[in-house]
Amino acid sequence: MNLDTIIFLVSAVVAVFGGTMMIAQRNPVLSVLYLILSLVAQAVLYVQLGALFLGAVLIIVYSGAILVLFLFVIMLLNLRGSEDFGHGSKPISGVTKFVLALLFVFELIAIVRTSLLQADSPIGMMTAVPVDFGSVKAVATLLFTKYLYPFELAGVLLLAAIVGAVVMTKGPEDEGAGATDELYGIADKEAEGEK
Amino acid sequence: MLEVIIASSIKVVFVLAAVLTGCAYSTYLERKVVGHLQHRIGPSYAGPYGLLQPIADAVKLMFKEDVVPDKVERVTFALAPIISFAPALLTFAVIPFAKDDNVFGYDVKMVLSDLNIGILFVFAITSIGVYGIVLAGWSSGSKYSLMGGIRSSAQMISYEVSYGLSIIGVILIANTLSLRELVDQQASTSIWFFANWYVFKQPLGFLLYLTCAIAETNRLPFDLPEAESELVAGYHTEYSSMRFAMFFIGEYANMLAVSAVGATLFFGGWQGPFVNEVPFIGMFWFALKVFIFMFFYIWLRGTFPRFRYDQLMNFGWKVLLPLALFNTMVTGLIVVKGWF
């Protein structure tokens, strides 16, 4: 076993462990922490493939921005333990869950099989990437040529999501019920606390 | 292989020692400078001019009782100071601190790791640092800590956007993400040794960087997460002894890190007079530039009152972000047109 294999195995195990622990946790804050652990391990895998840029971006975007927002929301609503989950009707029935999980497992098996067929060994896959794989230039060229339309569409989608979020938090003046009230309630509580 | 390991170890120890000493004496610098700004003399008992004060402080903190309150989440409570301290040190791994030189017959790169995405590494690491504060606030089980944590996460997310955008101008002009190449590009052989510093090509970018860096490190006038007149001590209210010391050193390490990155990006890093004749002098220029940044930080603390929370948010989103976008667009246009 050379150093590369050891690093790969360790970070792969950590990534899977983090992902598993994330869904096994009752405490939402710890879930987020395990997700961060998993993402950092994935970044290590990217770096090992020579995709330094993708690894750094993964950390900056997900660990640095999106998951901080997750934590922010969890802390703002102060969800501690499990008491806030499981109220009301079940969103997904057991059968649906099972079918979805089964589909996912088949998908995974299919992916692993095809990638195994392409390369001699799982470790051998690492040599199959092009020289400038994951470099800033390579990623940018792909984004602005081959995947230009999906990229721009994703931008529009995000813009729509932002506008939607603003509309939902502001809300029309006359209605002002439901989620809006709740959010304002929290803001009021905060303001009181700061005094 | 063995040579590489030994050489790297020596460099790591050297940089670590320099940074930690820098942190310790930054606290001294802060107390002394703020003292004089307020017509006091600052620490003056321990050693000549109070120079041994940081050591006395460290010993005191080590012997203090480590109080862990009842309602804390123990694991995250213990993890938080480490998360806020370690990333600041990691930043120094990619910062070049002198011109490459031949030492005892070996060619030595005066940087721990010459990553070709160096500046992105710095930002990735910095973005991890926020968790230290957020988790400290959440796990302490105290309302003041929680408020400090919430404030800090909101503040850091808001300012990180402008922080990232503020350096895009430099990257666009330099056409590289490697800190080493960035420093090389700022070299100048003429008598005007500062002619090629990026601060002159990116004045707005530099001001934005400076402002956001202060907000990112939670220093006055943006120290809302620990505003002592409102939140006791904010996120580290419940911390004591060495755990508190780690937050304390972490804050200074973060200040040093953003100062070092600022000096590297905008002020030519180790570039200065005589670096080609005496390569070692680069270290001195670099330290001097970082020192000036640190002094500026402390000067600001002694000068400005704290922002109000809504002012902070308005300033970040309605002033800094549009300015940063404007700077990026203008720089992009200039680079595309080839005016530089």
ipTM: 0.77
Q: What is the mean pLDDT of chain A?
A: 76
Is the CB of residue B143 less than 8 Å from the CB of residue B233? Answer: no
Q: How far is B128 from chain A (nearest CA, A)?
A: 6
CA distance B221 to B47: 32
- In tens, the pLDDT along B85-130 reads 888 888 888 888 877 777 777 777 777 788 888 888 888 888 888 8
- Chain B, nearest residue to A40 by Cα: B128
Does A193 sit within 8 Å of B160, measured CB to CB? no
CA distance B26 to B100: 27
CA distance B254 to B241: 20
CA distance B191 to A144: 43
Chain B: which residues have CB within 8 Å of chain A?
Answer: 73, 76, 115-117, 120-121, 123-128, 130-131, 134-135, 137-138, 143, 146-147, 149-150, 153-154, 156-157, 160, 164, 177, 230, 309
List the Cα angle A25/A31/A37 in 5-degree steps. Answer: 120
Looking at per-residue pLDDT, the higher value among A125 and A153 belongs to A153
Residue B140 has pLDDT above 90, yes or no: no
Task: Please count the other Cβ atoms lying within 10 Å of the Cβ belonging to residue B265.
Answer: 28
Q: Rg of chain A over CA atoms, in angstroms?
A: 22
- Best CA proximity match to B258, nearest among B306, B282, B222, B312: B222
Res. A156 pLDDT band, cuts 50 70 90: very high
- In tens, the pLDDT along B156-175 reads 888 888 888 888 888 888 88
Segment holding B157, helix H or strand E: helix B143-166
- Chain B hits for A76, Cβ within 8 Å: 150
Instruction: Give the per-residue pLDDT at A38.
Output: 92
Is the CB of residue A46 less than 8 Å from the CB of residue A101? Answer: no
- Best CA proximity match to B275, nearest among B101, B129, B138, B124: B101
**Bridge partner list, B106:** B103
Closest partner CB to A65 (pick from B76, B146, B157): B157
The one-letter code for the residue type at B138 is W
Is the CB of residue A48 less than 8 Å from the CB of residue A129? Answer: no
**Bridge partner list, B107:** B102
Instruction: Give the per-residue pLDDT at A194.
Output: 42
Instruction: Give the per-residue pLDDT at B135.
Output: 82
**Predicted structure pTM score:** 0.80
Instruction: Give the per-residue pLDDT at A159.
Output: 92
The one-letter code for the residue type at B261 is V
Residue A69 has pLDDT above 70, yes or no: yes
Instruction: Give the per-residue pLDDT at B236.
Output: 76
Res. B227 pLDDT band, cuts 50 70 90: low
Looking at per-residue pLDDT, the higher value among B176 and B1 belongs to B176
Looking at per-residue pLDDT, the higher value among A72 and B180 belongs to B180
Does B138 sit within 8 Å of A75, measured CB to CB? yes
Instruction: Give the per-residue pLDDT at A104.
Output: 92
CA distance B228 to A103: 54
Q: How far is B307 from chain A (nearest CA, A)?
A: 14
- Chain B hits for A72, Cβ within 8 Å: 134, 150, 153-154, 157
Domain residue spans of chain B? 69-337
Residue A160 has pLDDT above 90, yes or no: yes
**How far from chain centre, in Å, is Cα A8?**
21
- Chain A, nearest residue to B152 by Cα: A72
Residue A184 has pLDDT above 60, yes or no: no
Does B127 sit within 8 Å of A60, measured CB to CB? yes
Q: Where are the beta strands (DSSP E) in B90-149?
A: 101-103, 106-108
Does B143 sit within 8 Å of A52, measured CB to CB? no
Is the CB of residue A56 less than 8 Å from the CB of residue A43? Answer: yes
- Chain A hits for B149, Cβ within 8 Å: 75
Does B138 sit within 8 Å of A71, measured CB to CB? yes
- Chain B hits for A57, Cβ within 8 Å: 120
On the CB side of A98, CA atoms within 13 Å amount to 3
Question: Would you give the DSSP letter of residue A182?
Answer: H
- Chain A hits for B130, Cβ within 8 Å: 64, 68
- What value does the mean pLDDT take over residues B224-228? 68
Residue A153 has pLDDT above 90, yes or no: yes
- Chain B, nearest residue to A81 by Cα: B73
Looking at per-residue pLDDT, the higher value among A24 and B71 belongs to A24
Tell me what percent of chain B is helix, strand and coil, each rounded to the nearest 5: 70, 0, 30
- In tens, the pLDDT along B265-311 reads 888 878 878 777 777 888 888 899 999 999 998 898 888 888 888 88
Instruction: Give the per-residue pLDDT at A157.
Output: 94
- Chain B, nearest residue to A64 by Cα: B127
Instruction: Give the per-residue pLDDT at B87.
Output: 87
Q: What is the mean pLDDT of chain B?
A: 83
- In tens, the pLDDT along B178-219 reads 888 888 888 777 777 777 888 888 888 899 999 988 888 887
Closest partner CB to A56 (pick from B76, B121, B135): B121
> What's chain A's length in residues?
195
Residue A117 has pLDDT above 70, yes or no: no
